[in-house]
Chain A
Amino acid sequence: MTHHYQAKPHPHESAALHVSGEATYADDIREVSGTLHAAIGMSEVAHARIKSLDLSAVKQMPGVVAVLTSQDIPGDNDCGPILHDDPILADGLVQYIGQPVFVVVAESYMQARRAARKAAIEYEELPAVLTPEQARDAQSYVVPPMQLVRGSPAEKLEKAPHRRSGTLHVGGQEQFYLEGQISYVIPKEDQQFQVHCSTQHPTEMQHVIAHALKLNFNQVQVETRRMGGGFGGKESQSAIFACIAAVCANHLNRPVKLRPDRDDDFMITGKRHCFYYEYDVGFDDDGRILAAKVEMVLRSGFSTDLSPPVATRAICHFDNAYYLSDVDIAALCGKTNTQSNTAFRGFGGPQGAIAIEYIIDNIARALGKDPLDIRKLNYYGLTERNTTPYGQVVVDNVIHELTEQLEQSSDYRARREAVQAFNQSSPVLKKGLAFTPVKFGISFNVVHFNQAGALVHVYTDGSVLVNHGGTEMGQGLNTKVAQVVANELGIDLSRVRATATDTSKVANTSATAASSGADLNGKAAENAAQQIRERLTECYISQFGGQAEKVVFADNKISGGGKEISFNELVTLAYQQRVQLWSDGFYKTPDLHWDRETLTGHPFYYFAYGAAVSEVLVDTLTGEWKLLRTDLLHDAGNSINPAIDKGQVEGAFIQGMGWLTSEELNWNDQGKLMTHAPSTYKIPAVNDCPDDFRMELFENAAHVDTILRSKAVGEPPLLLGFSVFFAIRDAVAAAGNYIHQPPLQAPATPEAILSAVTAVQKAAASGVTGQ
């Protein structure tokens, strides 16, 4: 059988291409002769009926070949991933500033963009809903409210010795993939289309294009070699660009490329949902939570998009690592006249979990205890107190050991004392420290998405090609899948090449999302490679004798029978004996079920765990802050590739930190997004990476049969960024002698921090405790 897998820190399969500029992204593909460029004309008001749409000036601009509207879409004017409420081009009604209304096709990119600004649109304005609170007040939702209740939270809240309620705002987040959205559509013979698209979901692009053009799925081929980042922003949000480019290519029967400018990308596409919370918690003298109630209002934007599963995941992560016996979790998907919010690494999980962390932070301060002690007290038990609010029993809980290990390695207790001593003697700058845990459920909540396919070809020269349904967006999926295949066949990784995701190779794929890429596609590729190995084994035995169980594939050799031969020799032999040297593979995750009505079931195959300790320095005069040190410990199971997994963990941490600190989305009173480029929207930059940044993987083989006993690592570590937010909150609390709850909102910009500092200082100045 397979020899024991040794984790290997192989570089990313495209590393050499990345660093030399030779990696091909969609915009780098050599254009077919006659290629035209499209640019989108957008709505300038948040909610209105279009009274008139005068495109004559657009048509007269130099280089313009065509100007198309919704009337030019032969099929469905919709690209929604779940419900059909996402127009490709607005048809009489606009619902947010930035909504695509028409498209210009011109000879050059700049000609198209210049022309797109020349439209004269008259609007009849309608009332606009812009914030989650406004949506709730107006009962404006994209789907009906969801609620999960376990036990008797109302009663337990009433009886609890201590009770705290409050509100919290947590802002959204722009994915800011460095490579913007892009689709390049090339018409082929007989009403077929080849589409190069930067997307996490080629199959869905195939579907929405086919619907828009009234075609069969087999007429649309979508190919994605790699993305320059996705982060969830190219799961459903690539559809509008794919469809618009396809409509243009179909209309003109010419190749059309659509690459929105960064600002247009920001204005058109959805982001991480911002959340507004109202919470109520009851706890005992020790800090044990007796009951918790939370209502989460999401800013869904103008359409449904992926809001329902995002809300579901938020509900399923409100518990994070804590046992909540009596709990009432509600999620309201507020319909607002803004971009339609969507997937973003964590997919609602981070938004659900941060609420309970905020609550726990409050409990600790209310009781004058270290928040870590309150966290530990409320952790899921191993044999009791281990059923989640949605009914799944947590059977793989390692948060206790993981916490113990990080508490020691980060020197948490001594640093807690040092921070408090520093704060005693530092009037302006205050330090803060926080330890935050993560438990994150792995699998799509929609059971049937948990399937994958792969193809493995062994060529007669012994080189191997693998193709699977997952997409490469930088996460190292192709590297891991190739490692799986190399491992299965006992050959060097250098012999295995992974190729572009292509709907004409593996059909009916799921989105590369929910951290599931390696779990699903790795298993499918392993399955394909296994079949080939079995056939090769049979061939080997037929020639050299031996028993199948004893045949070993390792180091490019096959042994165990009468003779040791090279992989190439066996392949040649197999070919001559007419053995099929390629295979498909398939995988579906076992043991999943989910009831959408009751919000209960067994939605996750397993959980991934992690924890972080961060220490910050905060300026109480300006709200500026600096991250001094971070220690991360994360459970990636038996890592297939520790280098890639560490990169995922560190990157996710910094991205999570950005979400909760510098990344602020700002809409003006008219509903216009004012932060629509890197000049105004600030993702972490190099100096935000702390000088003292320690990261370890937690040794822990998955308890279920995952691919090589590894665990998914894409999303869970994003929640490690919580530690920075709560360290800042701790420092702010120091400005009021740790007595008052800092009303810190996320993102914790200098303004938000200064506002919270001012609040605790005022409370301290007027409070009974003096100071």
Chain B
Amino acid sequence: MPTADADNSRQNASVRFLLNDKPVRMADIEPTKSVLAWLREHKRLTGTKEGCAEGDCGACTVVVGELAGDEVVLNAVNACIQFVPTLDGKALFTVEYLRQQNNGSLHPVQQAMVDQHGSQCGFCTPGFIMSLWSVYNRHQAAETRPQRNEIRSALSGNLCRCTGYKPILQAAEVMLEQPAVSLDMPALREKLQELQQDESLHYSHPEGELFAPKTLDDLLQLRADYPQATILAGGTDVGLWVNKQFRELNPVIYLGEVAELKTISRDEHYLQIGAGATLTAAYQALHELYPQMDQMWERFASQPIRNVGTLGGNIANGSPIGDSMPALIALGTRVVLQSVRGEREMALEDLYLDYMQKDMAEDEVVTLIKIPLPDPQQQFRCYKLSKRYDSDISAVFTGMALRLEEGADTVTSVRIAFGGMAATPKRATHCEHALLGNAWDETTVRRAMQALQQDYSPLSDMRASDKNRMQSAMNLLYRFYLETRRVDPLVAEAVDVFAANTGEEKQ
């Protein structure tokens, strides 16, 4: 038998967490049971609703609190794609908690929604309430007010079919004007600290097992011992395998407890993001270095998805329509894979061999993403194209990075990568070749646009046709040119209808 769990785990352990501030212990449900199904079926807490069971509508939004060092971090997440054992050591809050928090009266967030007529059919409402509750707690404690863009971002994963959103946005703007109700964070921190255990969780059930190693060594050992195991990070994709494809996952290795994988650090060359860092954490780190990525992050799924999804998961999954890869490939990002046999590092683009096939051995895990620090000489942009601004999978996504010879127009280096154009996230080598060494002018750019046809033969699907993908890819290169040409470059506001969406917040 494997050694890792024998040494460091709580065998046949139960999952312990706080449900609406009260401890619960659970040992009798299958490890892939969703938090949503558990709440509704086992706890009869039916305020949390199922709208889609794939993390795309927000009707099931709950808030999860967890310790990050000495701090308690509260995040809105989608209960439908979270497995219950991942709550171990955390605090789960559902809509039922809010009245409890205010002695039976409506919480200010709820009262504001009533006052602003923010509910019609009411089915999406508890999800909106929980998304707003996380914003409320952040600002109520800090005595600040949320900006409009922050509110919109917080609600980007909540669909409402009735109201058209305006009264909900109004509720968000006035919720902090109500008599305050504060969440007792020190008490919560204490309760969470009491729940923490040194040994890692090994949850066993007749229908399957779940390991939640706490160290990288344990993780790599488990990976080696169970090559057929499913690696679970944020669950934003794996949750769908269970809900929609009925895949039987056994065992599951959950990465969320490996502290080493969550570190974000910087050396003189790279920003190093642990593969287990959430997309939200990665965003915060990258925002300082590459504000050009702000819009990409705002449009990268929804906030509840970004709160649990990991950058490593996005990269290791390697979907041809994942958004982070083209941007990171353009920046020259490197990725570190580790196993019990050792570690290796490669250019991110080299990880992807073919459709959903990666240069990754059965026992390997993506552990670190190394993003080069900004080069002042480099022009960098990334562009996303989809039917909807919020939470939509790209038809085409691109990252483009370019250096020109100092004082001249010659392209001295260029990296262009696209998503949605091939079976993998892929560099546009012919296009790059057409640019390299040539003047960064209209003629060269037009030629490079044509060269994209040699790089890609995109598919037609429900997101876009092959022709549209190609035309859009060419035009995005042209947009990049308009924004970066030496003479008369256009500002983002002149080429991007959404430039103001993220621009405002920085002021």
Contacts and interface: CB of A to CB of B under 8 A. Distances in A.
B106 A178 contact: no
B362 interface: no
A685 B391 contact: yes
Interface in B150-170: 152, 155-156, 158-169
A693 B118 CA distance: 16
B393 interface: yes
A3 to B, nearest CB: 25
A226 B122 contact: yes
Contacts of A683: 159, 161
B121 A226 contact: yes
B126 A21 contact: yes
A624 B114 contact: no
Nearest to B119: A18
A440 B123 CA distance: 29
A754 B465 CA distance: 12
Given A117-B246, A651-B163, A686-B169, A16 B122 contact: no
Contacts of B40: 27
Given A19-B114, A750-B395, A229 B123 contact: yes
A647 interface: yes
Interface string B360-385: 00000000000000000000000101
B218 interface: no
B124 interface: yes
Contacts of A689: 164-166, 169
Contacts of A110: 37, 246
Interface in A639-696: 643-644, 646-647, 650-655, 662, 664, 666, 674-675, 677-680, 682-689, 691, 693, 695
B127 to A, nearest CB: 9
A123 B475 CA distance: 45
B38 interface: no
B27 interface: no
Contacts of A391: none
Contact of A686 (B46, B117, B165, B495): B165
A12 B163 contact: no
Contacts of B395: 750-751
Interface stretch (A212-220, A244-252, A469-477): A469-477
B208 interface: no
B474 to A, nearest CB: 9
Contact of B99 (A20, A27, A675, A750): A20
B495 to A, nearest CB: 5
Given A177-B121, A751-B468, A755-B468, A262 B495 contact: no
A678 B388 contact: no
Contacts of A22: 47
Given A678-B54, A749-B387, A474 B110 contact: no
A15 B119 contact: yes
A14 interface: yes
Contact of B156 (A476, A623, A685): A685
Interface string B470-507: 01100110110010000000100011111001000000
Interface stretch (A162-170, A323-331, A614-622): A614-622
A25 interface: yes
Interface in A382-417: none
A12 B117 contact: yes
A682 B462 CA distance: 11
A21 B167 CA distance: 18
Contact of B53 (A261, A428, A617, A644): A261
B134 interface: no
B51 A619 contact: no
B273 interface: no
Interface in B79-127: 94-96, 98-99, 106, 109-111, 113-115, 117-126
A175 B478 CA distance: 38
B114 A11 contact: yes
B244 interface: yes
A523 interface: no
A178 B246 contact: no
A654 B165 contact: yes
Most chain B CB within a 10 A radius of its CB, from A12, A429, A624? A624
A134 B391 CA distance: 35
Nearest to B393: A679
Nearest to A676: B462
A682 B392 contact: yes
B100 to A, nearest CB: 10
B51 A653 contact: no
B117 A677 contact: no
Contact of A11 (B109, B115, B159): B115
Given A688-B389, A751-B395, A16 B159 contact: no
Contact of B54 (A427, A664, A677): A677
B461 to A, nearest CB: 7
B467 to A, nearest CB: 9
A113 B501 contact: no
Given A678-B54, A689-B166, A23 B44 contact: no
B464 interface: yes
A133 interface: no
Given A473-B121, A624-B385, A755-B468, A428 B495 contact: yes
A120 B94 CA distance: 41
Contact of A651 (B113, B120, B387): B120
A625 interface: yes
Contact of A664 (B96, B156, B462): B462
Contacts of B56: 677-679
Contact of B164 (A11, A427, A655, A750): A655
B96 A228 contact: no
A617 B497 contact: yes
A693 B158 CA distance: 20
Nearest to B128: A19
B164 A626 contact: no
Contacts of B156: 685-687
Nearest to A689: B165
B393 A229 contact: no
A476 B471 CA distance: 46
B166 A229 contact: no
Contacts of B482: 428
Nearest to A691: B148
Nearest to B504: A691
Interface in A409-442: 426-429
A231 interface: yes
B52 interface: yes
Contact of A228 (B122, B387, B462, B494): B122
Contacts of A674: 461-462
A755 B465 CA distance: 11
A621 B246 contact: no
B476 A622 contact: yes
B64 interface: no
A4 interface: no
Q: Which of B37, B123, B246, B468 has the most CB of A within 10 A?
A: B123
B99 A686 contact: no
Interface string A15-56: 111111111110110100000000000000000000000000
A329 to B, nearest CB: 31
Interface string B431-472: 000000000000000000000000000000111110010011
The 5 closest A-B pairs by CB, nearest first: A21-B47, A474-B121, A228-B123, A18-B122, A654-B164
Interface of A: 9, 11-12, 14-25, 27-28, 30, 109-110, 113-114, 117, 175-180, 226-231, 261-263, 426-429, 473-476, 617-619, 621-626, 643-644, 646-647, 650-655, 662, 664, 666, 674-675, 677-680, 682-689, 691, 693, 695, 749-751, 754-755, 758
22 contacts: A15-B119, A18-B119, A19-B111, A19-B129, A20-B47, A20-B106, A21-B126, A23-B122, A25-B123, A27-B50, A179-B51, A262-B51, A262-B53, A262-B57, A428-B479, A621-B478, A647-B120, A688-B389, A688-B390, A749-B387, A750-B468, A751-B465
Given A20-B106, A27-B50, A647-B162, 7 more contacts: A30-B44, A427-B490, A621-B478, A623-B472, A647-B167, A650-B167, A686-B152
